[in-house]
Amino acid sequence: MRPKNLLKSCNNQITMIEQQLIPVVLQAAKELYGIDAQEQQVQLQKTRPEFEGNLTLVVFPFVKAARKAPAQVATELGDYLTAHCPQLIERYNAVQGFLNLTIGQSYWLEALQNIAADEHYGQQPDRHRLMMVEYSSPNTNKPLHLGHVRNNLLGASIARIQEANGWQVVKTNIVNDRGIHICKSMLAWLRYGNGETPESTGKKGDHLIGDYYVRFDKEYKKQIDELKATGMDEETAKKEAPLMKEAQEMLRKWEQGDKEVRDLWAKMNSWVYAGFDETYKQMGVSFDKIYYESNTYLVGKKEVERGLQEGIFYRREDGSVWADLTGDGLDEKLLLRSDGTSVYMTQDIGTAKLRFEDYPIDKMVYVVGNEQEYHFKVLSLLLDKLGFPFGKELVHFSYGMVELPNGKMKSREGTVVDADELMAGMIDEAKELSKDKVNTLPDITEEETNEIARKVGLGALKYFILKVDPRKNMLFNPEESIDFNGNTGPFIQYTYARIRSVLRKAEQAGTQSPSITAIDLNDKEQGLIQRLMDFPAVVRQAGDEFSPALIANYAYALAQDFNSFYHDYSILNEKDEKVRMFRLTLSETVSKVLRQATYLLGIEMPERM
């Protein structure tokens, strides 16, 4: 009996062909050898280049039960598969314990036809489950930097990938808009700002406030050095420095609702928000819901006070409130300072409570760097102790840091790679490098030239960031990222633009709509179709593993395969009309899947380059 044709509906971690073959292999093991095998025992892999075939079945898992030599088991399974799947398996060859299977031509053609006709190829339509993805989480005392770029690009891409996997996704941001670091910028502006505004200086608001955060640190260090010169030790000097004491007093006034402090806070934060909005727009990221720490920390404080009353937490002699987690293999965690002010953990408890009140969340994902792994272990445990059923289900998507050739970034010292300057620089570099190519395009306008440069520059940045395993630290190299050759965004974009150029020329020549008819496929055409068939499985795996890198490297492999095919075979100049029409269909389908893959990465594709 033949398995049901799953070409149109398959979207699993195994490929379409594998999903169709596995039930037949299990059936063969049962009928030939009486083996009740499990799906995981069926090992299929791409056939090695030196052997004929498309897929190889490893037969060793069945040899012991069959009580026959590996080569004999491979031959018997090959006979069974060709008899029961004649439209799928055209022929086979057995090499010891490996069964190399050649997929039939009609199967490849049917597969391509189905992929070409599916407007939502690789996506699951189900939207019944809701996932909230938190990313960005900026502080309102500085502009976004390179570390935020990786965070935002990962978060936005994960959201798109999960939507493709059938989740309804709510993209959320928690803005850290209160705390001692905010007060540092406010105090420095009051002392040294002379009433400067974004309008009076021509600076984006987030950059202006960031300058004063750096200024505070500079003046604070001066005061520490002056106190140390009087014989005071460094730790005492840090506490006794007048600027720090003023900043701490400002924070207390803020939490007490002091009108003058609150008005200044609101004014300076509004400058920062306007600047953030510009950066997010350029980066191509957005949010469905934004939470503010200034609104959520009070909810968190109430939950901490409830936990204190219920004996979940305890108060020390200095008035501070703590959670004792030593019985859970962790340590003691501060929740409220001795002066009653809250900490990040307090805010996160309140934010989590509000989110689950606002949305029927099935899965909550925090996109936060790996230096916060302990924080989220504690948060999950505290929410569980407070009686929230979602406490243990929180997912911390932990990613590595972006490193620079000259070391780590430090915001307070002004040594960060600014996100706005980085994106502008990438766009300028793309414009310069693509100048010769773009100028050869007919009727190119300055506006289109700038738009191509924007897509290529930002595409280079996004791809370079996202192609790396997100859990690893990475070294950012702008020059390497914008190369038009190799594993880069511009290489994939150029491949897409090349295909679109071919299709435009075909249309201009009056070629009828691409179609598929029975032809003899060459190895590279088969390879392209097989790569296209892999896409749904890659999307599913990327969703399961929260890994945009899988999508990025798939897109690169598909672009490589197409360029190899394009180099060896003619498309528009192919004399056989059936072959020409097939190749146009194949090319158009490759461009569609490239566009869908890069969409999941937040990368825009230029129609010409």
Q: Looking at residue 362, what is its pLDDT?
A: 93
Residue 111 lies in a domain: no
**Which domain CATH number covers 345?**
3.40.50.620
Among 383, 413, 443, residue at a domain's last position: 413
526 shares its domain with 438: yes
Scan for tokens 């900490």, then name that residue. 343
How far is the C-alpha of 255 from the C-alpha of 352, rounded, in Å? 21
The one-letter amino acid at 98: F
200 shares its domain with 231: yes
Using the Cα atoms of residue 205, residue 208, residue 210 and residue 212 in order, give the sign of their dihedral: negative
**Which domain CATH number covers 492?**
1.10.730.10
70 shares its domain with 157: no
How far is the C-alpha of 63 from the C-alpha of 74, rounded, in Å? 9
442 shares its domain with 497: yes
The one-letter amino acid at 97: G
How far is the C-alpha of 6 from the C-alpha of 20, rounded, in Å? 7
378 shares its domain with 258: yes
408 shares its domain with 426: no
Residue 129 lies in a domain: no
Residue 112 lies in a domain: no
Residue 604 lies in a domain: no
Q: Looking at residue 288, what is its pLDDT?
A: 98
Q: Looking at residue 410, what is its pLDDT?
A: 44
Q: Chain centroid to CA 437: how far?
A: 30
Q: Looking at residue 7, what is its pLDDT?
A: 34
Domain count, the chain: 3
The answer to whether residues 355 and 130 touch, using CB atoms and an 8 Å cutoff, is: no
Residue 248 lies in a domain: yes
The answer to whether residues 147 and 106 touch, using CB atoms and an 8 Å cutoff, is: no
**Which domain CATH number covers 28?**
3.30.1360.70
This prediction has a pTM of 0.89
* DSSP result, 84-95: H-TTTEEEEEEE
Using the Cα atoms of residue 62, residue 66, residue 72 and residue 78 in order, give the sign of their dihedral: negative
378 shares its domain with 511: no
Collect the ranges in the chain with pLDDT lower than 70. 1-14, 404-416, 438-439
Q: Looking at residue 517, what is its pLDDT?
A: 79
269 shares its domain with 350: yes
Residue 109 lies in a domain: no
Strands in 298-408 per DSSP E: 314-315, 321-324, 332-336, 363-369, 395-399, 402-403
Among 413, 438, 465, residue at a domain's last position: 413
Q: Looking at residue 404, what is its pLDDT?
A: 64
Q: Looking at residue 439, what is its pLDDT?
A: 67
Q: Looking at residue 516, what is its pLDDT?
A: 81
CA 263 → CA 203, 260, 266, 467, distances in Å?
Answer: 21, 5, 5, 44
Which of 323, 256, 603, 283 has its CA nearest to residue 463?
A: 603
Q: Looking at residue 412, what is its pLDDT?
A: 43
pLDDT tens-digit readout, 205-234: 999 999 999 999 999 999 999 999 999 999
505 shares its domain with 529: yes
Residue 127 lies in a domain: no
531 shares its domain with 579: yes
380 shares its domain with 468: no
Among 377, 397, 413, residue at a domain's last position: 413
Q: Chain centroid to CA 14: how far?
A: 22
484 shares its domain with 429: yes
Domain that holds residue 529: 420-599
Q: Is residue 295 classed as helix, strand or coil in its secondary structure?
A: helix
**CB under 8 Å to 148, separation ≥6 — which residues?**
136, 138, 419
How far is the C-alpha of 399 from the C-alpha of 462, rounded, in Å? 15
Residue 10 lies in a domain: no
